[in-house]
Amino acid sequence: MTGEDAASVAAAQVEAGRDSTEKRIALAEAFYRGAAELRRYGRAELSFLRWEIARGVLGTDDDPGSPGSPWWRAINERLLRDKAEARLLHDSTADGDPSSRSVELWLEFLAGPSSRSWYRAHNASIVGGYIDHEPLAADELPAERLMMNVALFRVLFTHTMVARPRLALGLLAPFGRLLGNPRGGSVRFFLDLNHSFPSRYPLTDLDIEQLLLEEGALARALDYGVVLPRAADLYGHAAAALDEPRVDQLHDNGMPCYALPADHPAWNHQTHRRPLPRLAAFVTRSRR
């Protein structure tokens, strides 16, 4: 033990990397150091981080070419800070007790890595970040706020594919744990928005209607044919699995409402009536 408080050390590490995307990547990777099997759990997270960097949302305010997003930076920093603190406590290189439930869950993951323990820890950090930083989200453009909701319900959905595959995929439940495995390559389709939405920031040239029209066909089928019809159950599962009742702040009877009204036309867009989303809804229906 060093006598240093783990939460303070972790916060200092994140602060030191705030203005450097390379340091953010290094800190994200450092958590998964060790056995190859442990490193594989970081694949989806690191892929998403690189997508954020490519969009420019993690740029600094001092860089006129990439002003970045205070909201996206805050969410990323919450995740990095929780992981860094958990790693310090796990390795006994700093003192103290976990500063949050999400740090406790990252410690549980390190003690027993599995798909379920990874999703619980990761999603606890993400949900905590969403809730704590909603005022920053309100300052973003409407199209960006829609993307925030999509990113959230996608990661809640992939957790459910692993933990309760029948709830997530209905008749396709036998494929749930394989498709949602964070160590595999297929999970990137669900978590990486690179193939769903424009890789630029800010979206000053798009309103929500235009953004939805740019979403890829397979992504539309996932969002409108599979995820949104069962969203109430997905948010409910997240609240129970994460022991986080504040998840209810992120939806209204299953309709996403994070910094965007639950009755926004985007959630009942004509997209859901197209052939591919209807087919996706049919093949993932539950047996009666």
For residues 131 and 244, state if they share a domain. no
Of the listed ranges 75-79, 97-101, 240-244, 282-286, the least confidently predicted one is 282-286
Q: With pLDDT > 70 as the criterion, what percentage of the chain qualifies?
A: 95
Whether 172 shows a pLDDT value over 50: the answer reads yes
Average the pLDDT over 171-191 and give the result: 93
Cα–Cα distance for residue pair 287/137, rounded to 1 Å:
39
Mean pLDDT of the chain: 92
Same-domain pairing of 194 and 92: no
Claim to verify: residue 200 and residue 230 sit in the same structural domain: yes
Note down the domain range covering 132: 1-139
The model's pLDDT over 106-141, given as tens digits with 9 standing for 90+, comes to: 999 999 999 999 999 999 999 999 999 999 999 999
Q: What is the mean pLDDT of residues 211-228?
A: 90
Residue 171 CB neighbour total at 10 angstroms:
13
CB within 8 A of 46, min separation 6: which ones?
25, 28, 29
pLDDT tens for residues 49-89? 999 999 999 987 656 566 799 999 999 999 999 999 999 99
End-to-end alpha carbon distance in the chain: 56
What pLDDT is stored for residue 66 in this prediction?
67
Q: How many Cα atoms sit within 13 Å of 98 on the Cβ side?
A: 15
Asked whether residue 41 falls in the same domain as residue 102, the answer is yes
For residue 288, the model assigns a pLDDT of 43
191 and 259 share one domain: yes
Are 6 and 128 part of one and the same domain? yes
Range 46-74 burial, b when 16+ CB lie within 10 A, else e: eebbebbbebbbbbeeeeeebebbbbbbb
Same domain, 153 and 285: yes
The verdict on 237 and 124 lying in the same domain is: no
- Of 139, 173, 203, the residue that ends a domain is 139
Q: Which residue type is seen at 87?
A: R
Are residues 16 and 80 part of one domain? yes
Question: How many domains, the chain?
Answer: 2
Q: Tell which of 139, 168, 188 closes a domain.
A: 139
User: 97 and 192 share a domain?
Assistant: no
Residue 142, Cβ density class (10 Å: 0-12 exposed, 13-18 middle, ≥19 buried)? middle
What pTM was estimated for this model as a whole? 0.94
Helix (H) or strand (E) holding 255: strand 255-256
Chosen domain end from 110, 139, 168: 139
Q: Are 191 and 47 in contact (CB under 8 A)?
A: yes
Cβ contact 121:106 at 8 Å: yes
150 and 285 share a domain?
yes
Same domain, 203 and 264: yes
